[in-house]
Amino acid sequence: MIFIGTTNPGKVAEIAALLAPLGVELKPVSLDIEEPAETFEENARLKALAYAEHTGGVTISEDSGLIIPALEGLPGVWSARFADLDVQTRKVTSSGRSREVIDRLNNQRVLELMQGIEQPRRAALFKVALLVAQPGKVLFQSVAECHGWIAEEEKGTGGFGYDPIFVGQDTFGKTFAELDPMRKNLRSHRKRALDEMFLWASQNRSLL
């Protein structure tokens, strides 16, 4: 069994679909873990070790988000709660809003900040740091990116998070939310990181 540590059901579904060929039982676990670091890698490490300590077993955890150079790297590590971020102080005040609501508000805030910014300065990328840990030890780490740009408006009803406003380099002008799950997974940053994890897992079955 492998535990998946995340509070985001969209990530659970995506990871489970991508790891299905392993044939290993996956169990989601949700905890409220602070993410104080300024990099995805460090936040992912903190979360992976905390989740592994809680589950007592091998646990996948990750930290990911959207990076927009024209916005000085925002939303960055604050991607999950960008609508609640004070941009000046870089402090987040939790509003207690649901994931569905906060996702919509996050997208709206990005689009507002991007108003008047033309190509090629609408460039953006998704980044993920994915770790596998057991209590007290990181077993595997992978970092991957997916490049594209920010659309002028929200399009599509699929995916989650920033998918309705992110157009990939190879999606022929469609946002990730306009792609079916299979086509999105083939292009996603998470798929690239999980491909590396899949190879590691297939070579280390005794740990799972």
Active site residues: 63
> How is 31-91 classified by DSSP, letter by letter?
-------SSHHHHHHHHHHHHHHHHSS-EEEEEEEEE-GGGTT-BGGGGGGGGGEETTTTE
Contact in structure between 172 and 190 (CB atoms under 8 Å): no
143: which strand partners?
Answer: 129
What are the backbone dihedrals phi and psi of residue 44, each rounded to the nearest 5 degrees, phi first? -65, -40
**Rounded CA separation 167/47 (Å):** 29
User: How far apart, in Å, do the first and last CA atoms of the chain sit?
Assistant: 6
What is the side-by-side strand order in the sheet with 137-150?
A: 26-29, 2-5, 59-67, 123-134, 137-150, 166-168
